Amino acid sequence: MERLYRGVQMGKSEITKMIIETIKDYLTTQDIVHEINEQTSLIGKDAIVDSMGLVTIIIDLESNFLDKGYEVSLTSEKAMSKKISPFRSVNALSNYIVEILGV
């Protein structure tokens, strides 16, 4: 389901695309070539980035959402205290952002 948020239409598919593009942009700066999709791991043994890379992606993602009029805090206590991390995959992160924005 897609709804307007602060005058901008955003749904899960747009959120997922934004996450994937942000990750691709980061990987490009690191000269890393990797296929990115909804199942791509962001943490754990199959992660495509290290912890500093994930921090950079999170900051870039928050900034990209802000540029579109969405205030998203991915480093909140709520995100960090979840029993199952919202950073485990692209899909999990997308679902978490959908939850935050209520779209």
Q: How does pLDDT run across 9-56, given as a tens digit for each residue?
A: 689 999 999 999 999 999 999 998 999 999 999 999 999 999 999 999
Strands (E), 1-103: 3-5, 8-10
Domain extent listing, the chain: 8-101
Query: How many residues are listed for the chain in this entry?
Result: 103
Domain 8-101 adopts which CATH fold?
A: 1.10.1200
Handedness of CA 79, 34, 91, 26 (dihedral sign): positive
More confident residue, 5 or 51: 51
Whole-model pTM? Answer: 0.86
Under 8 Å between Cβ of 19 and 53: no
**Kind and range of the H or E run holding 84:** none
Predicted pLDDT of residue 75 = 85
